Structure 1
Amino acid sequence: MHRILKTAFVVGALAVLAAPAAAESAKPTVVLVHGAFADASSWNGVIARLEKDGYPVVAVANPLRGVKSDGDYVGRIVAGIKTPVVLVGHSYGGAVISEAAAETKNVDALVYVAAFAPDKGESAADLSGKFPGSTLAPTLAEPVALENGGKDLYIQQDKFHEQFAADVPAKAAKLMAATQRPITEAALTEGAPGAAWQTIPSWFIYGDADKNIPAKALGWMAERAHSKETVVVKGASHVVMVSHPDKVAKIIEDAASAK
């Protein structure tokens, strides 16, 4: 019995000594936030690669109702995660992560994937119109009236492939068009209440054939945020995470492993 107790004590002591090393080597959780006219499945290819490399992942169902309310929702999810977080946003989701991270303490890095990185008071509409090139407006369907007097916006399904996902196979783009989630018109014109990229290191990736947000606007936002790494994918559409999940996963892992 004495020998068994002694052995148990040694094993327990070794476990305690090993715990700090294990904690130090643990990977941060990657939280993915989709944008307008998309859903969390747009991250599927990225998720598969991150999980293969050992990263825990949460893909949030972004409400797409308003920057402040969406940011608060994502912030509550992030605050409930007991590890450091790499917060990733696509398109309008960039404005959401900028707000969410401003209200939480465990976000170590921000990754903007063809995404808005607004300063306080700036809206998605402001930034997409800052430089010429966006062709989104003419492709929007007739707005859906909401009970509060607002409007929900969709992209016309027959225009979705060319506008939103030109470098995605037609069959996949057709599914994306049918399952797209609407965003309120108010969300796209709401000024950002937070700009976490001012204090949290940021990474950017986007395609040079983006028709929703002009590549020049995306590059300008990356430069303004003093991006740690900016990747421009030649020929990539607005959904670069769908058409080039390997490149998007790579920059997320770069952000996660940065010291």
Structure 2
Amino acid sequence: MSLLLASFGFGLVTAAVLAIAAVGFTLQFAVTDVLNLAYGAVMILSAYVAYAINQAGISIWVGVVAAAVAGAIVSLGLNRGVYTPFKRRGTSPIALVIVALGMTLILEFGLQALVGADNVSYRLNQGPGIDLGGLRLSATQLVILALAVVIMVAVHLLLSRSRLGKAMRATAANPSLARNSGIRTDRVVTLTWAISGALCGIAGGVFAIDAGSFGATSTDLFLVLILAAVFVGGPGKAYGAMIGAVLIGLSTEMGAAYVTPAYKDVIAFVLLLGMLAVRPTGLLGERT
């Protein structure tokens, strides 16, 4: 029972980190129609921004805010400087995926050239352990869970209550119709890159906190989990990404506890392949 509760706790924290990252990724994909595989590289770049802030003696949570700003700026730069010019030239979606992979290599190995190949860690006090009916979590883990819940609620309110959210949903559904209806789709796309980039930065910061130590290529495998969560829930579906994150986070950590940690990412792929075989559009995707 103790192993089950421990793995369940780790799964909740992984799901929280994954939900922040997956929601940002799926919003980006839904509105901009770009499968940005450089997302993981932006995450780790943002994590290093938080690390620089933290090494100056400032709280890591201030560093996470700085990571959000860095993620937004880098994402906007990728859109304006890389993806938009290629899209204007009529580049095919599969070619854009290759471009995104190229940007991943440029960002990660450029970062590695600057910071070195060794892993680093934040200066962080995990706080006292808190026992919740046999489920033991540190204060830091509880903060990560609370942060994920706040962000999920904020995303829900953005999409359901705000004019920007409605414009984002309209642009995702039919960009041409949205433009003809008076929606400034270029502005919506820019704001989406900024918001999703901020979520990417936050995800990078909390990923590094949860991992304990990290390097320039640490998010490469985590990107697999993000993609699994997004496609299990339904590509372009924010609520689907939330559900997918919970399923992937819990199944990988609990599977690692009872099978072997080496197969954690394999479990995510098995779930992804199973979903694609049974329901290719994901849990919340519309059947075609």
TM-score range, shorter chain: under 0.3
Q: Which is richer in strand?
A: 1
TM-score using structure 1 length: 0.25
Q: Of Structure 1 and Structure 2, which has the larger fraction of its residues in helix?
A: 2
* Greater relative CO (CA pairs within 8 A, separation 6+): 2
TM-score (norm 2): 0.23
Q: Max radius of gyration: which structure?
A: 1
